[in-house]
Amino acid sequence: MKSKKTSRLILSISIVGWFIIALFVFNIVSINAQDNAKTNVYKKIKLFNDVLFKLQENYVDDIDINKLIDSAIEGMLDETDPHTVYFTPDEFDRFSTNTKGEFGGLGISIDKKGDYITVVSPIEGTPAYRMGIQSGDKIVKVDGEDVVGISTDKVIKKMRGEKGTKVIIGILRPGVKDELEFEIIRDIIKIESIPYAFKLDNGVGYIRIRQFNQNTTKELREKLDELEEEGIRALLIDLRFNPGGLLKEAVDTVNEFIGKDKRVVFTKGRIPQANMEYKTRYNRMRSDYPVIVLINEASASAAEIFSGSLQDWDRGLVVGKTSFGKGSVQKLFPLSDGNGLKVTTAKYYINSGRCIHKDLNDKLLKGKKVSDEEKEEAEKNNHQEIYYTQNGRIVYGGGGINPDIEIDQTRLSRLGIELRRKNSFFNYSVDYMIGNEEQVILDFVADDNIVEDFLNTVKQDSIEFEQSEVDTLYSWIVHELTNNIVSRKFGIEEGYKIIIEEDTQLQEALALFDEYSTLDEMFDYAEQLQKSNLENEMAKEE
């Protein structure tokens, strides 16, 4: 009898906690009197209380009430968008740790698409990057355990761990029939915001912003100062695979190019507190050299605010592919007992009035099916929402940032994917340096003998290929080998300078600086292209 009373007491305490949480969440998502009149929240809470007590008293097996309530909360939030998330104490602690930019793990940015945890992008220089994990890979197993359908936070918990420990992940890769298995040694992941910044041979400055963390503005200012001292004639900012980050840093980095008191972004939500406006704060503005911003389908959130804002203020030409379209605002609420709640409270709009958020993504991330017709309709609507930059140029809304000039990226062949997956270049470069380090100088290039030796080595690793495949990829193989060998001796940045020579999307973007010396000339060219593409589409319809 005593145990039953104790059980009831514990359950009552749990119910009180649940009641407070439910009221708190309800007040966020349904605050006006009209909604309250339609839904009697107190009756629903009582109903929930009744169900919980009946289960506790009558269910055939013992029930963990805490887990049951956590599941109920997660089920409730499942009716919202995919970015509104409940955190248990452990999950909340990990989420808070992530904002510090250092943890033990693999080095991948992930998101949930349907039932699959999907790699948005590997982070350069990390174990996952070196092992050849790619954007679009679906993680299906961690240490032999099936993780399909499991929450993102739970999968992250399984993949993270102490430096030097091993984890085996199973991958499904688009275009590859069989499941791929990667054995990865965890390392401390320190997220450097700007891993690469250097002056190219043609006088153009190159900056890669990996993500927007608490040091991005400081790093960008330092890198720009160095490049300007070297006398750059133009600048290319690479935001591909940038998953976003801190809004403040996005605004402050835009400040460097457009000056003080300029509106960068504003938010609109259902409650007044969610409606905010963010302007540049500093009396800083860089020289008026032409800027190109390179984006792709994995550029998201703060990266979209940055690229879209330079486009809005006519301070940069945006090229590449339409960005991801993650433009919703989340606010973090600490709860009792170390729990937490991340709630979507608003959406981002950049200065021209364009909403960054692509609603179709929410549907996909919730695991719902999206038909080809829906995708085509969304793309069509995307180009019907017309906005204007500060100088009156036409830009399009509807979700994501649409580039002024679209540039495709060349895809790797089957052999290239297999060489990356098995980490063949990295492994070969390690063995090569054992007896040949003195021969490797800064302008080293892998010759035919090295390529032949490499191919003989990978054959022993059960990689099969035809000579025709090698011929097609020969230049790429040379650059990959050169990159990995040079990186072993002179550092990742020196190797990166080599590998970008085979980056067709980047090279096409850089070529614009040679054809056009000013941004106005680039804008005119982009307008001509858009008109030409529109005429071609109309001709097809006729």
Residues that are catalytic: 301, 312, 326
Handedness of CA 253, 262, 349, 385 (dihedral sign): negative
Q: Which two tokens stand for residue 337?
A: 């007992």
Asked if residues 399 and 359 have their Cβ atoms less than 8 Å apart, the reply is yes
Element (H, E) at 171: strand 166-172
Q: Which two tokens stand for residue 108?
A: 């991948």
Asked if residues 231 and 242 have their Cβ atoms less than 8 Å apart, the reply is no
User: Helices in 325-466 by DSSP H: which ranges?
Assistant: 359-365, 372-382, 414-421, 424-436, 448-459
Q: Which two tokens stand for residue 98?
A: 């992530």
**Quick one: angle between helices 247-258 and 302-312, nearest 10?**
20
Residue 121 pairs in a beta bridge with: 109
Residue 369 contacts by C-beta under 8 Å, 6 or more apart in sequence? none
- How far apart (Å, rounded) are the C-alpha atoms in residues 258 and 280? 8
Q: Which two tokens stand for residue 282?
A: 């500093």
Report the Cα–Cα distance between both ends of the chain, in Å, rounded: 82
Instruction: State the SS3 of 440-464.
Output: CCCCCCCCHHHHHHHHHHHHCCCCC
CA 530 to chain centre: 28
* SS3 state of residue 182: strand
Report DSSP state, residue 245. B
Asked if residues 61 and 68 have their Cβ atoms less than 8 Å apart, the reply is no
Q: Alpha carbon of 194 to those of 215, 216, 477: distances in Å?
A: 9, 7, 27
